[in-house]
Every structure is written in C-alpha cells, then in structure tokens.
Amino acid sequence: MKIAVFSTKSYDQEYFEKYSSRYEYTFSFFETSLNKSTANLSIGFDVVCAFVNDKVDNDTIEILAKNGVKLIAMRCAGFNNVDLQSAKDHGIKVVRVPAYSPEAVAEHSVALILTLNRKTHKAYNRVREGNFSLKNLIGFNLYGKTVGVVGTGKIGIAFCRIMKGFGCKILAYDIAVSEELVAMGVKYLPIDEVFKQSDILSLHCPLMPATKHMVNKSSLAKMKDGVMIINTSRGALINTADAIDGLAQKKIGYLGIDVYEQEEKLFFEDLSESIIQDDYILRLNSFPNVLITSHQAYFTKEAMDQITLITLDNIHAFEMNEKLENEVS
C-alpha cells in the first residue's frame, strides 16, 4: 500500500516511521495541506492520510477519485472538513481515529483553566525579568465553583473526573447521559441552564450544524458576568465576533481556546516573521484575559502513539477487506 500523508510535520513523520515495521507500507510525506490545488500529489497512491485543517471537499475528492485513491484516513477524530456524501458518491471510504488518550485533551483544558485563573504565564515572565510583584495576579479557588460541561463523551468524562477532584460542582449537557457521571454526582440539565449556572464552561462536543456557534450573543446573555469559557473541541463552536464583544463588555471574564474558527490559516505554522492578516486573532491576543494555544491539546506522546497505531490499523483493515470499525459514513 502506498500512502500519501498530507499536512506532515516532523513529529508526524517520526511516529509513522516509528511504527513502519508494523505493516509493510510505503509512506510519502507532504508538508502541504490537502486541498483541490494539491490533490494531484495523490497520483499513484492507494490511500491519503489527512488532518484537521485539510480541505477534503467535493473538488478535492473528485481529483482523488480520478487518481485512484480508495481510502481517506483521517488521523484525527474530527471529520467536518470531509465531504462525506461526495466520498460515498465516488466510492472512497473514510476512516478516522475516534478516541486517542482523551485524558490528553481533558488535561489541557484544565491547564488552560489553571493558567488563566492563577496567571502563571504572566508570573513566569515577570520573575524572569526580576519582577516579583503580585499586583494583578490574584486568582480564585476552583473548589466549590460550578463547572458546566457541554459534551460528555470520552473527553468530557475525563474532564469531569479531574474537575470533581478539585471539589467543583459539575453540570452537564449532552444528548446522551453518561451513567458513570451521574453516579459520580454530575447533574445533567438543559443547555440553557448549564449556560446560566456555570462559573466555568468547557466545550467538549463535535462540530455539526446543531452545535456551530453555540456560544454566541444570545447564549452569552444567559451566562454569568465574568464567566470563564474553555474550548478544546472545535473552533466554530464559538462565534468569534460575539466572543470579542463579550470580552470587551466584560461578560466573558476569561477565554481559553486551543481551537479557532479560522485556524487553518494559522495553526501548526511558524508565522513569527510574518504579518498576520487575521484581525480576529489579533484582537483576541490583545485581551489580557485570553489564552490561545495552537491546537496542541491532543499533543502528548501517548496520544501520538494511539493516533498513529489506530490510523495504521484502519488502513490495514481496509487493505484486508475487513470491517472498518472506525468508518465515517
């Protein structure tokens, strides 16, 4: 099997090569993202391996199909960037990695909360400059605070376990109730009640039409003044323009995001010597109570191992004409 791996960074290549002996596959690594302009790089390959910000739309899929590609292997959980109907129409299977170390993302969510709250990033920079003042570094106790969790799949459950350890009251919303969380004392409520009662709101749900821009002007109006919002799921769960207004009006007291609506133009790249043209990200960075990380919540050794192994197993199942446990349809 010949596999074209798009949006490759050095660490992606490292992990695929680490497990290359598992199956006798031939990999070609492309730094460029997959889209209609680069899809012809797939000529001669059986499989393309894509990532979160690749644009696998109808135009791209038409070219992949013409080039003989039969499988799109997403090395991530999300698949909202893939035109599934087009893939089906062109006879191309789509697989993904539905779960990989959910603790990795959950722990990063907590890291954002703690950093925003206790301002450790600012304290670190101050002390390195010889400034040992505590002015404007005051935080709050997590103990006793109400944490709202939207989405209680594997990552949401892992996040709830951690916050329970801090002594927080946890409210949750999901279309499916987790009995494990109920037994733990988590209370499920309608989403508007979760918005209304939460001191901290953490998003752990997939992006789909029903969840796009769930944090918007209307939902923000229901939240407590000074609410902390954390998003390590998908950028478009938050309406960025409305979030900026909420920050300016002090409705949002803290915002921690590892994902961003327009991240495909920014994240995973070194733009330190470039003039960034995205006005929203520049505005967000101007707020002292905003913390942005560039889609690194998943990025642990354990998660990279799982992502790579599951991706390879998905490809092998396809090659052997076995049932695709992780097929997206």
Tell me, yes or no, if 234 is annotated catalytic. Answer: yes
Options 204, 234, 261, 264, the catalytic residue: 234
Q: Domains along the chain? A: 2-100+300-319 (3.40.50.720), 102-292 (3.40.50.720)
Q: Is the pLDDT of residue 78 over 90?
A: no
The percentage of residues in the chain with a pLDDT greater than 70, rounded to a whole number, is 100
Alpha-carbon distances of 305 from 22, 102, 109, 267, 310, rounded to whole Å:
13, 13, 21, 21, 9
What pLDDT score does 175 carry? 96
Q: Mean pLDDT in the chain?
A: 96
Looking at residue 95, its pLDDT comes to: 98
Long-range CB contacts for residues 210-219, cutoff 8 Å, separation at least 24? 211/237, 212/236, 212/237, 213/237, 213/238, 213/239, 213/242, 214/150, 214/238, 215/239, 215/242, 215/243, 216/242, 217/242, 217/245, 217/246, 219/192, 219/195
For range 199-203, the mean pLDDT: 98
Q: Is 204 considered catalytic here?
A: no
Whether 54 and 37 have beta carbons less than 8 Å apart is answered as no
Cβ(269)–Cβ(74) below 8 Å: no
Whether the pLDDT of residue 329 is over 90: the answer is no
Query: In angstroms, how far apart are the furthest CA atoms of the chain?
Result: 64
User: Given pLDDT bands bounded at 50, 70 and 90, which one contains residue 1?
Assistant: confident
What does the pLDDT look like over 128-171, one tens digit per residue? 999 999 999 999 999 999 999 999 999 999 999 999 999 999 99
What are 48-71's pLDDT values in tens digits? 999 988 999 999 999 999 999 999
User: Three-state DSSP class for 164?
Assistant: helix
Q: Which of 75, 204, 263, 264 is catalytic?
A: 263
Whole-number pLDDT of residue 177: 97
Is the pLDDT at 264 greater than 90? The verdict is no
**Rounded to whole angstroms, what are the CA distances from 90 to 42, 50, 72, 183?**
15, 17, 12, 46
pLDDT band at 100; cut points 50, 70, 90: confident
Let me know if 90 is a catalytic residue. no
pLDDT digits (tens, 9 = 90+) for 169-200: 999 999 999 999 999 999 999 999 999 999 99
Percent of the chain with pLDDT over 90: 93
Q: Is the pLDDT of residue 77 over 90?
A: no
Tell whether the model's pLDDT for residue 75 goes beyond 90: yes
Report the phi/psi class of residue 290: left, alpha or beta, with left for phi > 0 and alpha for psi in -120 to 50.
beta
Q: Which of 75, 204, 213, 295 is catalytic?
A: 295
